[in-house]
Structure 1
Amino acid sequence: MNLIDMSFKPARFEVECKYSLLFESALGIAAATYPRLHDHLETPKNYWDNLQQSLSEKLQQELLHCQKNNTWKILLQLLHERDFQSLDEFLQYIKELPDEQLRYIAFPYLDLSQQQNREIAAKGDERAVREMIAACQGHAFFPGLIEFVFKENPATLTEHLITIMEKWHTEVADKDEGTIEILKRDAQAKLQVIGKLSSSQLVQRATGVEYEAEPNIAKVLLIPHYIYRPWTIEANLVDTKVFYYPVSDESLSDGTHKNIPPAALVNFYKALGDEKRLRILKLLYEKERTLKELTELLELGKTTIHHHLVLLRSAHIVKVNNNGTYSLSQFPLNMREQLLKEYLQW
């Protein structure tokens, strides 16, 4: 087939980074209401079990309601409406929202093709709601969330959002001393390298995700979190891609011992410090390969190869593709060189 490509492909996107204890609270509520994930968070499972027992009865009730309807997502979407400076400002904003605007914000953004339906659905149009639900069939919880927002009384939803956020902030977030400083350190570290790295490199350094410019996305917003480590959460807003990313290991300390190298740098060179892993790297440099292919080419056991691949993946050198093959990540070599230069300049 002969093709003349005259389409526009965006070459770059803007990157912003901001932090807030309000985002941390909303993500904490999300984590608390996703018990299946508790075994896969850095915060041990017994923390969540003990936390549950320590909460007031009212907050436990609100968390159950949130778990059923995924209202934590609504909190996050509301937080993106403004740069709120305090919990009181955020709660007052929710309280004063007209019913139609509350519904519009609460409906998840799907894509530009569904924006008109989102606006009409906020006015109470059931046909638009059905079209939105049909458009996101297969998503883990969006269809149910859309149905919930449409049917729920706005006054009842407002009361729930205010209560759960206020009580979580009082009973949990305010007791985690030092969290805001961790978030601040990490955000500042990312802001310092804006301009030194490309936008894609900066996103990968923060999130571990390879992200390239895509149509209709003008900005990527990076928001650090501690409570959901080690997971990165990806979301879409109008014109914006959001990554709620885990703070780096080095951001957990106050920087007093500046001779300690960044964990990402240590993990990278540890991953390369093995003959078998370097051989895997060479094979993947040639082309993407399956686990079976690597096993046969290296004449090693599948368990051994898988172990080395796990280490290479944890250092963000290797990635798994949608078709199950392994390939090299796009940026790690140049990124780690930059990270090493930054460390040696201390």
Structure 2
Amino acid sequence: MSLQVRTGSGTGFELLLAAAAVADTDWRRVFTHGREAYAEVRRADPGLVPAVRRFGRFGWINLAGPLAASPQPWTRLRLLRLVAGTAPDDLVTTLVGGRRQQLLSRLDGATVRSAVAGDAAAVRRLRATVADTLLQVSPWLLRTDPREVKDVLVQLLESLPVLDSRAPSTADIDRAFDEQGGATLLERVAPGIQYAPGYLERVTLVTSVRAAPILVSVDEVGHTVILHPPLTEAGASDASAQLRDLGRALGDDTRIRILQELRTDDRTLAELCAALRSPRTTLLHHLALLRSAGLVDLSVKAGDPNVYSLDDRGFETLAAAAKGFTTR
């Protein structure tokens, strides 16, 4: 099946990414507007913050898949109607990653649904399987009645402050799509991610100012959604800007240790966690920054753990930027 690519944006996606930043302290530091989103929600109503956190970062991000599959425009209102019109069990299945290819390649959908229904053995299997992926599941989602989860989510979508009144412009990416085609555009928008042949079928590229400087991928079965920064913000070309972005990625002891570990061999997330004695939640946002800076590649293959490796091109860019900065 040939690759199908479409583009778009919407305030519904901006809300999901803002909520993900509020829900996860690490991701708040990664997203350019993460702290701003947290401050906006806290200023509107401090009581909203713990409610948002209960869903976990991935709970919010997993809603990007069904939103992208719904008719445009992908507004906040569209998102609210989508959630309100979804059966509670189906909604929680989505929130825990039950539409994600990475999970379903390791665990059958019936077990995921049994976990959502409260089956203790299924919950244990789900948690054990998730531990071998990049995904995370909020414990609250698995111990709370799906009807209550839905009620809380609808209330939050109605109560969260209006963070973005207009969707980001897609003019640049639409122009690039017309000039370069879908496959080339995907390589440009999502550098550092190497998908195995046959993994991608349909891809929706969602432009979001809230995603900067990284991208967020939601790999549903048969449909991948990639939320990415606007093209005008994604690739700095002058030496000063490149040094700034690369310096940000390198300016942390944990990220340096990750690079040192990857010098010896490619690693899965579990292997990196063991080698660095660091939790997944800590390493994931560091790896996202290294990948966005072009220093690390991520290889994605259905049924196997994702694998991280060094990207020589990123270090070549670093050397060229340093040399270009000193050239007069």
TM-score, normalised with respect to structure 2? 0.63
Question: Per-residue deviation at 1:70?
Answer: 5.1
Q: Which runs of 5+ in 1 are unaligned?
A: 1-9, 251-262, 272-289, 293-312, 333-346
- Once the two structures are superposed, what CA deviation does each residue of 1:66-101 show, in whole Å capped at 9, x if it has no partner? 45x853235334424523644444324423432332
Cα-to-partner distance string for 1:93-135 (whole Å, 9 max, x where unaligned): 4234323322332330213453343345455544443333222
2:67 counterpart residue number: 79
Partner of 2:256: none
Residue number in structure 1 paired with 2:146: 154
Contact 1:31–1:228 (8 Å) recurs in 2: no
Q: State, as a whole percentage, how many aligned pairs show the same letter.
A: 14
Query: 1:207 maps to what in 2?
Result: 190
| CA distance in 1 between partners of 2:61 and 2:174 (Å) | 26
| Equivalent in 3, 7, 15 of residue 13 of structure 1 | 3
CA positional deviation for 1:196? 3.6
- Supply the AA of the counterpart residue of 2:200: I
Please tell me whether the aligned partners of residues 204 and 226 of structure 2 are also in contact (alpha carbons under 8 angstroms): yes
State the partner residue of 1:59.
48
In 1, distance between residues paired with 2:292 and 2:113? 43
Equivalent residues in 2 for 1:215-254 (5 A)? 215-249=198-232
Amino acid at match of 2:313: L
- The yes-or-no answer on 1:267 pairing with 2:259 is no
* 1:83 to 1:14, Cα distance in 2 relative to 1, 3 A: same
Q: 1:152 to 1:314 in 2, by over 3 A?
A: closer
Deviation at 1:23, TM superposition (A): 0.8
Q: Is the contact made by 1:225 and 1:246 (CA closer than 8 Å) also made in structure 2?
A: yes
Distance 2:204 2:22 in 1: 24
- The DSSP-based 3-state class of the residue aligned with 1:104 is helix
What is the CA–CA distance in structure 2 between the aligned matches of 1:221 and 1:121, rounded to whole Å?
A: 29
Residue 104 of structure 2 corresponds to which residue in structure 1? 111
> Is 1:164 matched with 2:168?
no
Q: Deviations over 1:135-184 (max 9, x none)?
A: 22244652x43x5433211221111111222222xx232xx45x42xx2x
Aligned length: 257
* Compared CA separation, residues 88 and 269, structure 1 to 2 (3 A): closer
Contact kept? 2:3, 2:200, Cα under 8 Å? yes
Structure 1 segments (4+ residues) deviating >6 Å: 268-271, 313-316
Counterpart mapping for 1:37-56 below 5 A: 37-43=27-33, 45=35, 47=36, 50-56=39-45
Q: 1:203–1:209: 8 Å Cα contact kept in structure 2?
A: no
Q: Which has the higher contact order (CA 8 A, sep 6+)?
A: 2
> Which is higher, the Rg of structure 1 or of structure 2?
1
CA gap of 1:64–1:112, structure 2 versus 1, over 3 A, is closer
| 1:200/1:211 contact within 8 Å kept | no
Gaps of 5+ in 2: 243-261, 265-289, 298-306, 318-328
| Contact 2:173–2:231 (8 Å) recurs in 1 | no
Cα gap change, 1:314 to 1:138, in 2 (>3 Å): closer
Distance 1:323 1:89 in 2: 36
